[in-house]
A = this chain, B = another copy of it.
Amino acid sequence: MARTAEIISVGTELLLGNIVNTDARDISQMLSEIGINVYFHTVVGDNPERLKDAVNIARSRADIIITTGGLGPTYDDLTKQTLAEAFGKKLVFDEKEAEEIRTYFSQSLHSHAMTDNNYQQALLPEGCTPFHNACGTAPGCAFEADGIHVLMLPGPPNECISMFKNCAMPYLRDLSDDEILSHNIHIFGMGESLVEDKLRPLMLKLSNPTLAPYAKEGEVRLRVTAKGKSAQECEDLMAPVIEQVRSVIGSCIYGLDTGTLENTVLSLLIEKGLTFATAESCTGGLIAKRITDIPGSSKAFLGSAVTYANSAKADILGVDPKLIEDHGAVCRQVAIAMAKGARDRFHSDMAVGLTGIAGPASDDTDKEVGLVYCALAVEGSVYCRELHLGLDRSRVRTSAANHALDMVRRYLTGLPIESWES
């Protein structure tokens, strides 16, 4: 039977909203990779009573408890003491860990001196497996008590995640019988409820693998998860389901485990040896920003002309000012002229041009907020979508950027570009 883990993150800064709990996300991802179920995350402050309560709840519903945080040298770092007490373990001084801490301080660039309470970190529960901290001073550890495995990791994300990979994963792999693997199917151009309508019969029928949809910033993701004795068995279980999803959803699927539209587009561009540029008005640089978030994007992405002002559309991209005078800045003709202008100025193989009204106010015309024209210029052809993206500024911008990327993807994979099935 698969084991069940609960992650208890200790830190008042999490409850005050000063930081976001990336440790729990990253640990959960790695746990699912080795077939350990996670049914709950709990976040609790630097308070021993409430931590003890959380631990008592966790031990009633999980057989692996993983804590993050509260292992440091300051007076509010109480995780080790509290967990040891809850499981009836004494804390003993670990000379090897003390030596590690001494070494860390003698080697590091840190200007601050080692203090007595740094030695407190070398106190560990009796009989535990110490986890060495490669990025800091606080060691972690694991012990078993009452049939429950308790793993304690430091809070700072770089310390926590490197210790989890290097120490906790090997410890946990030894406990697990099953493999669990997931694939994410990425969809753009079809709403979550329509995706579910089309796939409900399949989803209800399945138990292993399972199939679950979720929406994310104008996109839909379908997660296929299989459990088996080996990675290969999981893959064999998932393959026919992924095929069935493909046959139902069709060309709105833009990738498998690719993460984002911009990843898919960048990979296609690099694969085909093509270069790309953007001309952005309403999106204001968002497409360029998303593409250059990706390391190595300079292999295909040449740049963007963010021409927010009408004069810049003329000066930088060579859009005929008469077009804007006659039709306003938000029209099909201007979007196409921007795309062509960007392709010309950046000497790129492909370019997109976007002009629209992101809101909340309209421009001086009677055009509605959310109206966006998105054009794609390639050698010898142009394409343009007219979009109506609603009233929320952030959503209009995100959707417009998604559509631009989708047009590039469709062009590069030989699919219809201006209109698309749903």
**A25 to B275 Cα, complex, angstroms:** 39
Please tell me which one of the listed residues B30, B358, B420 contacts residue A17 in the complex, with CB atoms under 8 A apart.
B30
Contact indicator B18/A21 (Cβ below 8 Å): no
Decide if B182 touches A16 in the complex (CB within 8 Å).
yes
Q: Please, what's the 1-or-0 string for A144-188, where 1 marks a CB less than 8 Å from any CB in chain B? A: 000000000000101000000000000000000000001010000
Is A67 among interface residues, defined by CB-CB distance under 8 A?
Answer: no
Is the CB of A236 closer than 8 A to any CB of chain B?
no
The smallest beta-carbon distance between A402 and chain B, in angstroms, is 12
Q: Is A228 an interface residue, CB under 8 A from the partner?
A: no
A305 at the interface (CB under 8 A from B): yes
- Min C-beta distance of A254 to chain B, whole Å: 15
Asked if A14 is at the interface of the complex by the 8 Å CB criterion, the answer is yes
The residues of A with any CB-CB pair to B shorter than 8 Å are 11-22, 24-32, 38-47, 50, 53-54, 57, 61, 72-76, 107-115, 117-118, 134-135, 156, 158, 182, 184, 189-194, 196-197, 200, 203-204, 212-217, 221, 223, 225, 275, 277-278, 280, 283-289, 291-293, 295-298, 301-309, 311-312, 315-316, 345-347, 358-361, 370, 388-395, 397, 420, 422
B315 touching A309, Cβ below 8 Å: no
* A191 and B109 contact, Cβ closer than 8 Å, known pairs A212-B12, A223-B13, A316-B345: yes
Is A72 a contact of B192 with CB atoms below 8 Å? yes
CA distance A214 to B361 in the complex (A): 34
* Residues of chain B within 8 A of A17, CB atoms compared: 24-32
Closest-CB distance, A351 to chain B (whole angstroms): 12
A410 to chain B, nearest CB (A): 14
Given contacts A53-B61, A115-B193, 17 further A-B contacts (CB under 8 A): A14-B41, A15-B40, A16-B38, A17-B24, A18-B214, A40-B42, A57-B57, A73-B193, A75-B196, A108-B388, A111-B420, A117-B193, A283-B292, A284-B289, A286-B289, A301-B309, A302-B312
Closest B residue to A360 by CB, please name it: B295
Q: 5 closest pairs, A vs B, by CB?
A: A284-B292, A285-B288, A17-B29, A285-B285, A17-B28
Give Cα A284–Cα B293 distance, bound, in whole angstroms.
Answer: 8
Q: Known contacts being A24-B21, A216-B19, A346-B315, is A111 close to B189, with CB within 8 Å?
A: yes
Chain B residues closer than 8 Å to A200, beta-carbon distance: 75
Report whether A156 and B109 are in contact in the complex, using a CB–CB cutoff of 8 Å. no
Give the residues in chain B near A12, CB-CB below 8 Å. Answer: 212
Q: What are 12 pairs between A and B in contact, CB < 8 Å?
A: A15-B41, A17-B24, A20-B25, A40-B44, A72-B215, A108-B390, A108-B391, A284-B289, A284-B297, A288-B308, A297-B308, A305-B306
CB of A263 to closest CB in B, whole Å: 14
Q: What distance in Å separates the Cβ of A374 from its nearest Cβ neighbour in chain B?
A: 13
